[in-house]
Amino acid sequence: MAQVANFIGRAKPVGQGHQPRLPVTRIRVGYGLVTPAFIAGAKPTSKAELRIPSIKGALRFWWRACAGINNVKDLRQREAQLFGSASGGQSRLRIAWAKEPIRWVWDKGTTLEKWNKRGRSLYGTAYLGYGVINAQKQELTRPCIRSCSLSLDMRLVHDRNSYAQSGAAELAGLVRSIMALGLLGGIGSKSRKGFGSLVLEELTIEGATGDLLTSELCRNLSLIKVGGRSATWTWQPPVNVGQLAGRIRALYPPSSVTREGKSPPLPEWTALSPYSSHHLVPMQRGGAIEAVDTIGAELVRYRSWGKNGKILDGQPREGNFKDDHDLAKDTITGRHPRRVVFGLPHNYPRDKFTVSGPNGGRQRIDRRASPLLLHVHWLGDKPVIVVSFLPARFLPRGRERLTVERNRNPKQVTLDSHSDIDSRLWQPIHDFLARISQRFEAVEIIAPSV
């Protein structure tokens, strides 16, 4: 019996009586914050703050992305069972600090010079940090946490009625979300742009019986059993680009991929799918911020029209989207900019021109997140930028019209076809990914198929 107690943790029964105690799996997680996180509580412009609910919210996002479910009703039901909901009750995932993190903070008004070890302007960083960074002054508009280590103690309290049937799948889904956050994601504002990147450094699972962690599941998730007879499993961080690629492939559950020859629809939300891809860009020099700046500057070269023919620090523009520039200048009408696929809204203040999602109806959809997600990962003493392309439906069914507004005169324009990954809407992103693959010799990971 003493060994059983070591195998399975115990949760206190609710109420009176002698109910069977619920099985608990304990998970110890360590993340390293490698790029500044713009994260806060009630006063984001005056105080940077790191809280457990923010971590849990990020895990919830990646749980959805890795769930392999494309039905809203089913997703909400499964998500509520694990993370809780207003109608469904308390979360069964309990998270606490194993060790209170020591935070190093940069205050509002800090210049980007303090970020840069090589003494050059970070125009690409300022571009990606639009809103939290003043590009002209090269300074922060709100405080941020520049670095820290996160040590978390998680406890998954399993449901007694479904433990035998779905306990393994539930644990695997949670473990994938923990891994995805530390391999592809981050926390705080602008986390899709590479800020707040978290690197998974430690993952240990205790109290999971062999029924939950089968040898096949552990092999797929790169988990290794340690400690002889004790039910302890650990995850080894990748040490090179090849191992990092393998860890990312392991994030895909079988239900998120498809047999060759079939073409399922795009996901309804940001998720790993057969259409996803990841580009790993090793940096030969510089730190994490320089890595973010490198990709940001490449986006400026590709996307920006610039001013007086110049971009960044005086480089000549490429002018890849002259038709978008002419549209803003009112020399082309009846369509939307091709660059909308990078996210909405699009604002052109000098031309009093704005592009946003559809107005009207019960819900205004004026914002769309970019399907490109940037993450900085450390391998040894050098950073790697992970550029993930996670396409999903750009606008809901039946509301596929954008609002193009000039001089406060809005008009509705039909969105380019985006029902499949080869549609015209996605082409600017395909071209950008091909560009970084060629320019930086990136390692490309295509979604696995079964």
Assigned domain for 162 exists: yes
**Contact present, 188 and 54 (Cβ < 8 Å):** yes
Same domain for 387 and 314: yes
Same domain for 283 and 400: yes
Same domain for 303 and 200: no
Instruction: For 332-372, give the secondary structure using H, E and C.
Output: CCCCCCHHHHHCECEEEHHHCEEEECCCCCCCCCCCECCCE
Beta bridge partners of 150: 31
Same domain for 213 and 88: yes
Could you tell me which residues come within 8 angstroms of residue 208 by beta carbon, excluding any fewer than 6 positions away?
Answer: 25, 171, 231, 233
Assigned domain for 263 exists: no
Amino acid 293: pLDDT = 94
Q: Name the amino acid, one letter, at 144.
A: C
| CA torsion through residues 363, 355, 70, 279, sign | negative
Q: Where are the beta strands (DSSP E) in 73-123?
A: 93-99, 104-106
Domain count, the chain: 2
Backbone conformation region of residue 68, classed left if phi is above 0, alpha if psi is from -120 to 50, else beta = left
CA dist 39 → 47, 101, 103, 120, 397 (Å): 9, 14, 12, 26, 33
Instruction: Report the alpha-carbon distance of residue 258 to residue 274 in Å, rounded.
Output: 7
Q: What is the pLDDT along the chain (450 residues), one digit of tens a residue?
A: 344 333 334 444 444 444 556 678 899 999 999 999 999 988 888 899 999 999 999 999 999 999 988 888 999 998 998 998 887 788 989 999 999 888 889 999 998 887 776 667 899 999 999 999 998 898 999 999 998 999 999 999 887 776 666 777 888 899 999 999 999 999 999 999 999 999 999 999 987 655 677 766 777 788 888 865 557 889 989 999 999 999 999 999 876 655 455 667 889 899 999 999 999 999 988 899 999 999 999 999 999 998 899 999 899 999 999 998 888 877 567 788 899 999 988 877 766 788 888 765 556 677 889 999 999 999 988 999 999 999 998 888 878 888 888 777 888 888 887 767 778 899 999 999 999 999 998 888 887 654
Beta bridge partners of 204: 28, 234
Same domain for 231 and 348: no
Q: Is 363 exposed, middle or buried (0-12, 13-18, 19+ CB in 10 A)?
A: exposed
Amino acid 217: pLDDT = 73
Amino acid 227: pLDDT = 66
Rounded to 5 degrees, φ, ψ at 132 are: -100, -10
Amino acid 130: pLDDT = 93
Q: Is 8 helix (H, G, I), strand (E, B) or coil?
A: coil
CA dist 65 → 46, 146, 180, 200, 219 (Å): 32, 27, 9, 17, 21
Same domain for 222 and 81: yes
Same domain for 286 and 428: yes
Instruction: Among 237, 261, 292, identify where a domain stops.
Output: 237
pTM of the entire predicted model: 0.90
Q: Where are the beta strands (DSSP E) in 197-262?
A: 198-206, 223-226, 232-235
Instruction: Among 183, 206, 237, identify where a domain stops.
Output: 237
Same domain for 291 and 153: no
Assigned domain for 16 exists: no
Assigned domain for 9 exists: no
Question: How many other CB atoms sit within 10 Å of the CB of residue 379?
Answer: 18
Assigned domain for 256 exists: no
Same domain for 301 and 213: no
Q: Is 269 helix (H, G, I), strand (E, B) or coil?
A: coil
Assigned domain for 251 exists: no
Same domain for 281 and 185: no
Instruction: Report the alpha-carbon distance of residue 187 to residue 190 in Å, rounded.
Output: 8
Instruction: Report the alpha-carbon distance of residue 257 to residue 279 in Å, rounded.
Output: 18
**Contact present, 155 and 56 (Cβ < 8 Å):** no
Same domain for 300 and 196: no
Q: Which range marks the domain in which residue 335 is found?
A: 277-446
Instruction: Among 214, 237, 260, identify where a domain stops.
Output: 237
Assigned domain for 310 exists: yes
Q: Is 105 helix (H, G, I), strand (E, B) or coil?
A: strand
Look at residues 347, 336, 440, 327 and name the one whose alpha carbon lies nearest to residue 395. 336
Q: Where are the beta strands (DSSP E) in 207-299?
A: 223-226, 232-235, 277-282
